[in-house]
């Protein structure tokens, strides 16, 4: 029997290494995939659509308008909350990326047992529930008499943004051939020269991806910011939560849509920069 005369299912099994049919061969795979995508993205479509609703009651459509966007953009309280979020996000991103870059290089030079233990400690914020992290951080700051507010939120964001920034940087560093550094050392380059002219350019895509990921995580965080927000420390997610507690209006949808667009732009920029570096 030739390859052309083999049944389609048999050819699929052969392409999968002879182990068996792939995940896409199961009858309900497409249907379940479509349901998952609808479940994930339909609420976002509804939020965006009703942000243009002229009716103050968000669930009742009356007409199309841009007035909610102009009202949101002209609100002084929202501008202050946005400024707090951006300030916290920028500082947390810069510090976490610097720490993550140093940790990635340090972990690479450690013994395997020590590296595993260190990565377990560093990656703890990825596993620990955020509510537990927020309560623990709040208790620590209260016991240390650190005043709540923007500075406290920034310190907490740095702590849980480091592992998120470390993931792409570490993955990029592990993909670099160590022979490159050995060749540079054999040619007389010092450690600082190797770091400045080789390590940083090679890690640039991972650093950019880690920075954008850390910024998005910080910008969208609500639980930690809610627990640590003191006087004048209200961030944009915390402000949106306050708006929802009073009344759900299309203004909430408009503000959420703007945050969604900003997140999509940042992720797209990360993808384009990483693709350009390849």
Which pLDDT tens digit goes with each residue over 257-271? 888 888 888 777 767
What pairs with residue 188 in β-bridges? none
Report if residue 66 sits inside a domain: no
Q: Looking at the structure, do residues 135 and 179 belong to the same domain, yes or no?
A: yes
Report if residue 259 sits inside a domain: yes
Phi, psi dihedral angles at 61 (to 5 degrees) = -80, 130
How far apart are the C-alpha atoms of 68 and 250, rounded to whole Å? 7
Report if residue 229 sits inside a domain: yes
Q: Looking at the structure, do residues 214 and 256 belong to the same domain, yes or no?
A: yes
Of 89-93, 180-184, 230-234, give the range with the top mean pLDDT. 89-93
Burial of 206 (0-12, 13-18, 19+ CB in 10 A): buried
Q: Looking at the structure, do residues 229 and 185 belong to the same domain, yes or no?
A: yes
Report if residue 33 sits inside a domain: yes
Shortest CA distance to 184 belongs to which of 168, 166, 196? 196
DSSP 146: P
Between 87-91, 174-178, 253-257, the lowest mean confidence (pLDDT) is in 174-178
Of 77-86, 90-99, 170-179, give the range with the top mean pLDDT. 90-99
Q: Looking at the structure, do residues 41 and 144 belong to the same domain, yes or no?
A: no
Q: Looking at the structure, do residues 118 and 250 belong to the same domain, yes or no?
A: yes
Q: Looking at the structure, do residues 126 and 237 belong to the same domain, yes or no?
A: yes
Question: Residue 113: pLDDT above 90?
Answer: no
- DSSP string over 205-274: HHHHHHHHHHHHHHHH--HHHHHH--TT---HHHHHHHHHHH---HHHHHHHHHHHHHHHHHHHHHHHHH
Question: Residue 21: pLDDT above 80?
Answer: no
Q: Looking at the structure, do residues 27 and 100 belong to the same domain, yes or no?
A: no
Report if residue 92 sits inside a domain: yes
Give the per-residue pLDDT at 6.
Answer: 46
For residue 53, give the 3-state DSSP assignment: strand
Report if residue 56 sits inside a domain: no
Q: How confident is the model at residue 87 (pLDDT cuts 50, 70, 90)?
A: very high
CA distances from 273 to 120, 209, 211, 217, 264 (A): 30, 8, 12, 19, 14
Q: Looking at the structure, do residues 225 and 263 belong to the same domain, yes or no?
A: yes
How far apart are the C-alpha atoms of 195 and 104, rounded to whole Å? 13
- Computed over every residue of the chain, the mean pLDDT equals 79
Q: pLDDT higher for 229 or 199?
A: 229
How far apart are the C-alpha atoms of 140 and 157, rounded to whole Å? 14
Give the per-residue pLDDT at 48.
Answer: 86
Q: Looking at the structure, do residues 210 and 247 belong to the same domain, yes or no?
A: yes
Q: How confident is the model at residue 12 (pLDDT cuts 50, 70, 90)?
A: very low
Where residue 17 falls (left for φ over 0; alpha for ψ -120 to 50; beta otherwise) is left
For residue 165, give the 3-state DSSP assignment: helix
How far apart are the C-alpha atoms of 225 and 133, rounded to whole Å? 11
CATH number for the domain that contains residue 155: 1.10.3720.10
Give the per-residue pLDDT at 179.
Answer: 67
Give pLDDT tens digits for 156-201. 999 889 888 888 888 777 776 666 666 766 666 666 676 767 777 7
Cβ 198 vs Cβ 180: under 8 Å: yes
Report if residue 67 sits inside a domain: no
Domain range spanning residue 44? 8-50
Percent of the chain with pLDDT over 90: 13
Q: Looking at the structure, do residues 24 and 104 belong to the same domain, yes or no?
A: no
Q: How confident is the model at residue 3 (pLDDT cuts 50, 70, 90)?
A: very low
Give the per-residue pLDDT at 125.
Answer: 79
Q: pLDDT higher for 61 or 143?
A: 143
Tally of domains within the chain? 2
Question: Residue 88: pLDDT above 90?
Answer: yes
Q: Looking at the structure, do residues 156 and 245 belong to the same domain, yes or no?
A: yes
Cβ 89 vs Cβ 218: under 8 Å: yes
Q: Looking at the structure, do residues 157 and 117 belong to the same domain, yes or no?
A: yes
Q: How confident is the model at residue 10 (pLDDT cuts 50, 70, 90)?
A: very low
Report if residue 62 sits inside a domain: no
């Amino acid at each position: 029997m030739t390859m052309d005369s083999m049944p389609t299912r048999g050819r699929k099994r052969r392409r999968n290494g002879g182990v068996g049919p792939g995940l896409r061969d199961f009858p309900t795979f497409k249907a379940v995939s479509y349901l998952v995508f609808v479940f994930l993205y339909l609420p976002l479509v509804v939020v965006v659509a009703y942000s243009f609703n002229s009716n103050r009651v968000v669930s009742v459509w009356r007409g199309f308008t841009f007035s909610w966007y102009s009202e949101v953009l002209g609100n002084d309280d929202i501008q202050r909350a946005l400024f707090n979020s951006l300030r916290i996000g920028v500082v947390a991103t810069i510090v976490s990326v610097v720490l993550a870059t140093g940790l990635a290089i340090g972990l690479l030079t450690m013994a395997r047992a020590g590296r595993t233990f260190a990565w377990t400690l560093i990656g703890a914020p990825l596993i620990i529930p955020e509510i537990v992290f927020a309560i623990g951080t709040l208790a620590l700051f209260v016991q240390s008499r650190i005043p709540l507010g923007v500075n406290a939120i920034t310190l907490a964001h740095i702590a849980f943004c480091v592992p998120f920034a470390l993931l792409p940087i570490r993955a990029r560093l592990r993909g670099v051939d160590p022979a490159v550094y050995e060749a540079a050392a054999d040619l007389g380059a010092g450690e600082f020269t190797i770091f400045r002219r080789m390590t940083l350019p090679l890690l640039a895509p991972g650093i950019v991806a880690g920075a954008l990921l850390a910024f998005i995580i910080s910008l969208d965080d609500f639980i930690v910011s809610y627990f640590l927000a003191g006087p004048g420390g209200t961030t944009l997610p915390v402000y949106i939560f306050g708006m929802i507690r009073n009344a759900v209006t299309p203004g909430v949808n408009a503000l959420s849509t703007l945050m969604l667009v900003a997140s999509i732009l940042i992720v797209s920029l990360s993808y384009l920069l990483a693709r350009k570096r390849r």
